[in-house]
Amino acid sequence: MAVAVLLVLGVAAAWSVLIPGVSAWENIIVALIGSLRLTGPVAAAFAAWVAVRRRRGNGNRSLTAWQAVRAPLAILVVVTGSFTATVLVLAVRTILTEQAGRLLPSGLVMSVAGLALYVIIGWITGWLIPWTITPVLAGLGCYGLFTWLAGGSTWTDRLVPATREPYDIFQGLSSAAFTDQTLWLLGVSAALLLGWAAVVTRQALVLAAALLAVLAAGAGVTRLLTEPRPVAAERVVYSCQEWPIMVCVHPGMRTGLDELGSAFTKIASRLAGTPGEFSRVEQRPRHDDAALAPGAVPVHVDDLAAGFADRAADEFVEKLAEACENRVADGYRDIVVAWLRGEPLPGGPLAEHQYAAAWFSGLTEVQRRGWLRMHYTDFAACRLRSAHFGGQAAQAIQMEPSRPPEAGRRPERGIPEGAAAPGGMVDAGVPGN
């Protein structure tokens, strides 16, 4: 029964931690470690329940060292078996799809060491406090303690079997860090178990073994705290799609190439001929500010959940122009941004914005691209004004407030045939592509 409960919880918890759409072994390892957040406290509660029953049935009888540690070790075997079953379930999923990166056995060993710590804490708690409610208290206590440590300072999170979320697939995982963490977790688990056994059996040899375990735990935590965190992203061999523009992503996200390419091809065509023109889209870590080659632009994709391409495109377009300090300029900026995103043009809070949106909607796609090439600098610097959107007609509307422009009516005869030239004049010969 315990194995079945731990298996179901482990699979559910691991599945919730998986980054949607990412096909990488590191993603699987992080998910398995993340599943301990739920399975660990449940394992502690199970161990406490067995300890309470064993303590009540044992009475005051003396125990040998083996008799003392046999039951908690048996519980650890059961818990490890359920974790192994969780690993196999996720392994089946990974075998069916090609995975990027590499499998780190050290991450799996560290997870088992973390489960051992949960079990030992639960066992000792149940033995020392043989109450009926103790298993619940042990589970909730472990959950609260480990969650607090994982979200604490820059060093306390290294003491628990967890990884910081959200996980950055560009950063990678450190096998050395997993090894040091395993040494610490096994050392502190053995120290607690042998220390408890020494108290119960009153054997000096068991106490000596507990002191050796303390030394091992100290060596592990020293290595953990002195080893610097990786700050640079690992070198990634991108997966790319070359037509109609070059789109490159982390190999674990290659299934999103088509959708991402479709979203950015439209933006690239509208920015052609402007200072924002690009022919290559490259996924980059959010913390990486390194310059790219001319014609390449960075994008950020955290996962491949529904709508990921639109989110990446929206974030990219928002950064093309500076944030406007006043409402008037911001309304004109929103019109151009909406067009670049492929969204309906906003009416805006002011009458002049409504006129500008109507004027801009009357242009053909080729004319809009020519207009953007002409006024890109003003757009990027948030200096757009009514003169850029048929300013003479806007002035006429202000002089005749009783005659607002009808929805969908051309603001000025002939405007749709060309884009506005500087000064608000209409130029029917704006070049297009």
Instruction: With cut-offs at 50, 70 and 90, classify the pLDDT of residue 164.
Output: low
Per-residue pLDDT at 101: 75
Q: Can you give the pLDDT at residue 381?
A: 93
Give the residue-averaged pLDDT of 282-293. 86
Q: How far apart are CA 380 and CA 428, in angstroms?
A: 24
**Residue 297 pLDDT class (50, 70, 90 cuts):** very high
Residue 265: is its pLDDT beyond 90? yes
The pTM score is 0.79
Give 414 or 201, the one with higher predicted confidence: 201
**What pLDDT shows up at residue 245?**
93
pLDDT higher than 90, residue 3: no
- Over residues 5-14, the pLDDT tens digits come to 888 988 898 8
Domains of the chain, by residue range, sit at 2-166, 239-318, 327-427
Q: Percentage of residues in the chain with pLDDT exceeding 70? A: 86
Query: Is the pLDDT confidence value at 231 over 70?
Result: no
pLDDT attached to residue 99: 73
Banded pLDDT at 177 (limits 50, 70, 90): confident
Give the per-residue pLDDT at 91.
81
Least confident of 78-82, 227-231, 365-369, 383-387: 227-231
**pLDDT for position 156:** 80
pLDDT of residue 153: 66
Q: What is the pLDDT of residue 21?
A: 86
**Close Cβ partners of 21 (under 8 Å, ≥ 6 residues apart):** 253, 255, 256, 303, 304, 305, 308
Each residue's pLDDT tens digit, 86-104: 998 888 877 777 677 778 8
Give me the chain's average pLDDT, please.
Answer: 84
pLDDT (tens digit, 9 = 90+) per residue, 312-349? Answer: 999 999 999 988 888 889 999 999 999 999 999 997 77
CA angle 205, 207, 208 (to 5 degrees): 65
Q: Find the mean pLDDT for residues 406-431.
A: 37
209/432: higher pLDDT? 209
**pLDDT tens profile 188-219:** 999 999 999 999 998 999 999 999 999 999 99
